[in-house]
Structure 1
Amino acid sequence: MTAQSSIKPRALDADPSAALHELVLKSLDDDQAVETVTIPLAGKSSIADHMVIASGRSTRQVASMAAKLVDRIKAETGRAARIEGLPTADWVLIDAGDVIVHLFRPEVRSFYNLERMWNFGDAPAPVAEV
């Protein structure tokens, strides 16, 4: 048996969008994101299949979650995610292709209220805290 044949296929090979979404949620959970919400966009918008919104308790936590998430996406998929807002870390946007991630400080999140803006008549699916 060669080393190549003993490697298990990565989860991203089966359904890249769902696997990327799971990777994002796991990373945010590992970094203790608060009030993580997923809004399904497949069939409703062409920008992505999933939008994930989460909060951090401080700008330092938001920046750390964002940096780690971008690194994990690169390590797992080989693709670089685009990131905006990292210097101030009040609102950080990560465009990972099929998944768009918004990370906020709580005050900024409540001001912009993206969940309400992107609600297509369906309530956003909250992600259970583990």
Structure 2
Amino acid sequence: MVVASGRSNRHVGALADYVIRGMKQAGFKDIGTEGQEGQDWVLIDGGDVILHIFRPEVRVFYNLEKIWSVPLPDGLREMSEQAPADPSE
């Protein structure tokens, strides 16, 4: 599982498109995706590889790193202290 951040909705969408294109060229089949419409958070499921791409605010809200008791990256840790309860605010 890979967790990454994009700087904006457009950046998240572009990263997702780039990764999906690369996975197809590498021979991955049946690539599943979720969230490409809103582009706040995109999940790409390649079977053996799962990629989550978040806008920073949404990544802080979901905090997937907490599942493995891993702290948020330094640049996001400060944001989590100031984050609203709903990432769309």
Structure with the greater alpha carbon radius of gyration? 1
Unaligned runs of 5+ in 1: 1-50
* Candidates 21, 27, 31, aligned match of 1:71: 21
Counterpart-to-counterpart distance in 2, 1:78 and 1:113: 28
- Does the residue aligned with 2:26 lie in a helix, a strand or coil? helix
Counting only pairs closer than 5 Å after superposition, residues 1-130 of structure 1 correspond to structure 2 as 51-117=1-67, 119=68, 123=70
Q: Tell me how large the CA RMSD over aligned residues is.
A: 1.7
Which of the pair has the greater relative contact order for Cα pairs under 8 Å at 6+ separation? 2
Quick check: 2:28–2:46 contact (8 Å CA) kept in 1? no
Gap change, CA 1:78 and 1:97, over 3 Å in 2: closer
Q: TM-score scaled to structure 1, two decimals? A: 0.52
TM-score w.r.t. the length of structure 2 is 0.74
1:77 aligned counterpart, secondary structure: coil
Give, in whole Å, the separation in 1 of the partners of 2:28 and 2:56.
31
Question: What residue ranges of structure 2 are gaps of 5+ in the alignment?
Answer: 74-89
What is the letter of the counterpart of residue 24 of structure 2?
Answer: K
Tell me the matched-pair count. 72
How many Å apart are 1:78 and its aligned residue?
Answer: 4.5
The answer to whether the Cα contact below 8 Å between 1:56 and 1:104 also exists between their aligned partners in 2 is yes
Runs of 4+ displaced beyond 2 Å: none
